[in-house]
Structure 1
Amino acid sequence: MKRFVEGDDRKQVALLPECVDDYIGHDNPVRIIDVFVDELDLAELGFSGATPALTGRPSYHPGVMLKVYIYGYLNRVPSSRRLERECQRNVEMMWLTGRLAPDFKTIADFRRANGAAIRNVCRRFVEVCRRLKLLSGDMVAIDGSKFKAVNNRDRNYTAGKIDRRQQQIEESIQRYLDAIETADRISPTGFDVKTMHLYEKIVRLRQQMRELAQIKKQLKKQRDRQLSLTDPDARSMATSGKGSGMVGYNVQAVVDAKHHLIVEHDVTNIGNDHGQLSRMAMSASKAMGKPTLKVLADRGYFSGPE
């Protein structure tokens, strides 16, 4: 192909192989991740496996796993399966991990077992930003965001939802019974295939009624009268769209006004922002080491006591 920019032959063998470091620019964020994690005392921060076991199969160093986790956070790759693929094909990740490629279960287990330690890393990052004078030091903004949980809306129950569902099932049962009665009058032989299907549907619906009755008993034991079967901590929350509620979490974030860095965060299952202002403001003040702080928030946080 003349007069076009041509690439190298895929089968060409290089006598002097290129170094992986040559592919990573000097201002690439992965270099910051690498330096930041290498300077951390992972055992002091609470990471499990920081001291290797004397026997058994060698494990991945928690520093390598933490680098993978932070890279996924910065590049919006939250899935452990997608992080596994990135380790296998992404040059930046190869440079960061030394060509190691942990499987998705190892990544997920690391995240699950070291939640408190990862929060300590976030606090240490804020301390570094404070020393580098990247924080304004006198003004922050607080807001909440709804994050969807793995719990489907049909697997989340309140007293109102159960009552509506029971009413729908009763109406369906009555409709099937009427259809059976009509079929009995019309059909000379009595039972036919359609009638048998209707009886099977009624049996399934009555089983659902018994299950709803059991869920209703469990619901009375819940403090907020709400029950999620897949993700027990998730709660039904209203969103900005009309009639578009979701089952998830309310993530509170405090952002510095200078460089928009997150200085403090917390996850709650309370559907609104009432009562969160002072708690998050005090946490941000402690994280930034400032006794006084100007805090900006929208009217969703308005409360007399707050």
Structure 2
Amino acid sequence: MSGFIKGINRSQSTLFPESLNDFVHAENTVRVIDVFIEALDLAELGFTGVFTKSTGRPKYHPAVMLKLYLYGYLNRVQSSRRLEIEANQNIELMWLLERLAPDFKTIADFRKNNAKGIKHVCRTFVELCREIHMFDEGEIAIDGSKFKASNHKDNNYTPKKMAFHIERVEKHISNYLEKLDRADEEQHSPQTIKATQESINNLKQKLAELKTLEKEVKAHPEKQISTTDPDSRLMKTQGMTRVVSYNIQSAVDTKHHLIVAHEVTNTTDRGQLCPTAVLAQHALKRKDLTVIADKGYFSGQDIKDTQDAGMTPLVPKGDTSGSDKKGIFNRSKFTYDKEKDVYICPNNSQLMPGKTRTKDRDLYLMHYRARVKDCRHCSLQPQCTKSATPRKISRWEHQDRIDNMDKLMKKRPDLMLIRKQSVEHPFGTIKCWMGMTHLLTRRFKNVRTEMNLHVLAYNFKRMLNIMGNQGLINAIKATI
């Protein structure tokens, strides 16, 4: 085998360095993890077990466990069993943990019992980034992404699915009853008849369970129940696929792509703009934020609430009227004249305001109608309305705010590209680190803790890429 690089004989004695420190070079990431965790006041952050009694069996210090988890999430090792294996064979972890190797149960219990502390560590790192001026631009992008829950689709029930299962079981019972009738006529063996009867009894028991579950599903406010992880929900993902998942909301800095704030939800994006933006305000300790989001967040009231909180939301509106499909002019073809309080149609006729307004959800709408004589003799009527009545336009009482927002957005045609490049980057990275699989934990409390660790690891890695190992160590020592 000449011409190849040759290895060392496995039976040959080798003199390894006596110190673990010699195995970990000065630029190794574990040195930054060690400096960061050692600088934290874990008792103040809410970790349990920081102070121990003089009697009893010694326990692992929370700093040891936190170092293990941060290293694991940075290196795509999130499960407690795999972390146990790594602690026993990974030289970097041996250095970081000083040769300590907790078992998987201890590792899992630490994550379960220290949700508050882990959340505060995640916030502390964002605070560190803020103090070294990483968020001076004051512009964030908000989006949600579906993370598959630890709940199989078969264990999620909706009224439609319940009706399908009940119908199928009833059909099986009917088939078995017919089989039982034929068995009497054809004089089958007692064993066959007994087996058939047992199958019928089992199916009847299953039917009773399904009907009980059906009542629970119909009584549920969201008309669905997940039996493995009750907090997860069946939601549409990309390509209209339906997956049992959580919708993770995040606010990301558009300059450095750092996650400023995040929240775990089980609803759609609609209505999440202001709550997520307010979380970002608290994290950055400033109100005058510019908030960019896609059309899935468009809600008049939500945009108004965001503006009332001191922020500048920039959210495009999708055309949901269906006018284009009907072959008629959509709303954008009508111009509002604020001074006269009228709408101008494509044929330069005026739509006058009505005398009453209506309430749609929480919004009060004023209706503007064309005059009958203008509409009846208009050459563009077939393109304007399919109804016998004149064309009507509805206007929200705070529509001026939306119009002003639209003017700001026209000055920045690259907004949606900036949003996409900013907020979708972290989601893709975290899902890649997860291995494109489901969340490891269940229920809101535990999933939030898991996401806090993911966000902490992502931000940590991002800062290492921006500042370098020594630069981040210096920032930690100067700030925390």
TM-score normalised by L of structure 1: 0.90
Label 1:86 to 1:152 Cα distance change in 2 as closer, same or farther (>3 A): same
Instruction: Write the distance in 1 (CA, Å) between the matches of 2:74 and 2:249.
Output: 18
Superimposed CA distance per residue, residues 33-73 of structure 1 (whole angstroms, 9 cap, x where no aligned partner): 11111000000000000112222111110001011111122
* Correspondence 1:75-224 to 2 at 5 A: 75-185=75-185, 187=186, 189-191=187-189, 193-219=191-217, 222-224=220-222
Q: 2:240 aligned with 1:254, yes or no?
A: no
**Deviation (angstroms), 1:211:** 1.1
Structure 1 stretch displaced more, 128-137 or 288-297: 128-137
**Deviation (angstroms), 1:194:** 4.6
Determine helix, strand or coil for the equivalent of 1:250: strand
* Correspondence 1:279-294 to 2 at 5 A: 279-294=275-290
Determine helix, strand or coil for the equivalent of 1:165: helix
> How many equivalent pairs are there?
302
Instruction: Write the distance in 1 (CA, Å) between the matches of 2:193 and 2:141.
Output: 64
- 8 Å contact 1:136–1:258 — kept in the other structure? no
**Deviation (angstroms), 1:303:** 1.5
Determine helix, strand or coil for the equivalent of 1:214: helix
Determine helix, strand or coil for the equivalent of 2:260: strand
Instruction: Write the distance in 1 (CA, Å) between the matches of 2:46 and 2:146.
Output: 29
Runs of at least 5 residues in structure 2 that lack an aligned partner in the other structure: 303-480
**Deviation (angstroms), 1:283:** 0.7
Label 1:182 to 1:241 Cα distance change in 2 as closer, same or farther (>3 A): farther
Superimposed CA distance per residue, residues 119-173 of structure 1 (whole angstroms, 9 cap, x where no aligned partner): 1001100011122233353222222121222222222223332222111111121
Label 1:136 to 1:18 Cα distance change in 2 as closer, same or farther (>3 A): farther
Partner of 2:67: 67
Runs of at least 5 residues in structure 1 that lack an aligned partner in the other structure: none
Superimposed CA distance per residue, residues 265-290 of structure 1 (whole angstroms, 9 cap, x where no aligned partner): 111122x1111111111111220122
User: Counterpart of 1:211 in structure 2: which amino acid?
Assistant: E
Query: Which has more radius of gyration?
Result: 2
- 8 Å contact 2:155–2:227 — kept in the other structure? yes
The percentage of aligned residue pairs carrying the same residue is: 50
Structure 1 stretch displaced more, 194-203 or 126-135: 194-203
- 8 Å contact 2:139–2:289 — kept in the other structure? yes
Partner of 1:55: 55
Determine helix, strand or coil for the equivalent of 2:270: coil
Superimposed CA distance per residue, residues 178-229 of structure 1 (whole angstroms, 9 cap, x where no aligned partner): 23333443x3x33465544433322221111111232234345533333222
Structure 1 stretch displaced more, 260-269 or 209-218: 209-218
Partner of 2:393: none
User: Counterpart of 1:24 in structure 2: which amino acid?
Assistant: V
**Deviation (angstroms), 1:18:** 4.5
Determine helix, strand or coil for the equivalent of 1:246: strand
Instruction: Write the distance in 2 (CA, Å) between the matches of 1:255 and 1:67.
Output: 25
- 8 Å contact 1:159–1:225 — kept in the other structure? yes
Instruction: Write the distance in 1 (CA, Å) between the matches of 2:21 and 2:277.
Output: 42
Determine helix, strand or coil for the equivalent of 1:283: helix
- 8 Å contact 1:136–1:256 — kept in the other structure? no
User: Counterpart of 1:296 in structure 2: which amino acid?
Assistant: I
Q: CA RMSD in A?
A: 2.1
Partner of 1:265: 262
**Deviation (angstroms), 1:10:** 3.7
**Deviation (angstroms), 1:77:** 1.9
TM-score normalised by L of structure 2: 0.59
Instruction: Write the distance in 2 (CA, Å) between the matches of 1:34 and 1:261.
Output: 21
Structure 1 stretch displaced more, 55-64 or 296-305: 296-305
Label 1:184 to 1:34 Cα distance change in 2 as closer, same or farther (>3 A): same
Instruction: Write the distance in 2 (CA, Å) between the matches of 1:8 and 1:137.
Output: 55
User: Counterpart of 2:31 in structure 1: which amino acid?
Assistant: R
Partner of 2:227: 229
Determine helix, strand or coil for the equivalent of 2:22: helix
Instruction: Write the distance in 2 (CA, Å) between the matches of 1:28 and 1:221.
Output: 55
User: Counterpart of 2:296 in structure 1: which amino acid?
Assistant: G
- 8 Å contact 1:143–1:253 — kept in the other structure? yes
**Deviation (angstroms), 1:2:** 5.2
